[in-house]
Amino acid sequence: AIVPALITHSKKSKINSIAFGILPSQIQPSDAHFNAFSSVGLCLSKNFSPLVLLDRDNLESFVGINLNGLIIKGNAVINFIFELIKQKKSFVEEISELTRTFNIKSYTVLIAAGASLGIYGSLEHILSAILLRPLLRFNFSNSSITYVIIRIPIKLKKILSKNTIELLIANWLKDKVNLKSLQVSEPLYVDSNGDRIDLAVFIGGFDLKEIFSLQKKKIESVKNNAFKKSLIKKEEWEAITKELN
């Protein structure tokens, strides 16, 4: 419930911002799912900041390696994503512009953490691998917007220039999604003796109905109780659910 209040303040102050929402684990109680459902629906119905959705179960099962060779999982994955965003200073402004241009409000992110180019053999193989470990269960084929942050050792700059990366990703996406926009930010080149690549592919435009259909059933009793106690009005709930149907 804090997230809508914070990004409302950012919007009133005319500050570009982005919000992250972590959907509860399937084993969490129904009130946690109700709070998540309501917060996401409210953010989207009010045309707040771009919202990046992640799933707690997928987050906990993800295992990666950072550039220092240390294992990252769970909440450390969030820190990894924030670190990439922090280094790409224009990210929030650029993703906000995509949101306004294409009226895409929600995103998720596919990541590769410390993926060895030597082991995978190519950037295309790394991209294919990230589809096998999504941080949100969603229909990739329904996506239409892609924004990419990539961090690579500077010694790979000759074989992985920005133009080369754009072409590789565009070819990889072809026939997979109905693409309206692909934006690859200027690569973050780092001084490293290894060949590990960090990648964050922000995806938008997918259908939310499939994601929230199970959650909607899970929260039915909590919703009815909220109505009974007049904690939420019918028109408010309709506005929330409209964005998630």
Local confidence band at 2 (pLDDT 50, 70, 90 cut-offs): very low
* Whole-angstrom distance, CA of residue 57 vs CA of residue 24: 8
Q: What is the mean pLDDT of residues 54-66?
A: 92
**From its phi and psi, is residue 19 left (phi > 0), alpha (psi between -120 and 50) or beta?**
beta
User: Is residue 143 a contact partner of residue 177, using CB atoms and an 8 Å limit?
Assistant: yes
Question: What digits encode the pLDDT tens for the residues 98-132?
Answer: 999 999 999 999 999 999 999 999 999 999 999 99
Question: What digits encode the pLDDT tens for the residues 67-99?
Answer: 777 899 888 999 999 999 999 999 999 999 999
User: Is residue 50 a contact partner of residue 96, using CB atoms and an 8 Å limit?
Assistant: yes
Give the model's pLDDT for residue 151: 97
Distance linking the first and last C-alpha atoms of the chain: 20
Q: What is the mean pLDDT of residues 156-182?
A: 95
Q: What domains, with CATH codes, occur in the chain?
A: 1-49+209-245 (no CATH), 68-207 (3.30.1330.20)
E strand spans, the chain: 19-23, 51-55, 63-65, 71-73, 106-116, 145-153, 181-184, 188-190, 196-204
Give the model's pLDDT for residue 134: 96
Give the model's pLDDT for residue 5: 46
Beta-bridged to residue 184, according to DSSP, are 148
Q: What is the mean pLDDT of residues 232-241?
A: 87
Question: What digits encode the pLDDT tens for the residues 26-42?
Answer: 899 999 999 999 989 98
Local confidence band at 140 (pLDDT 50, 70, 90 cut-offs): very high
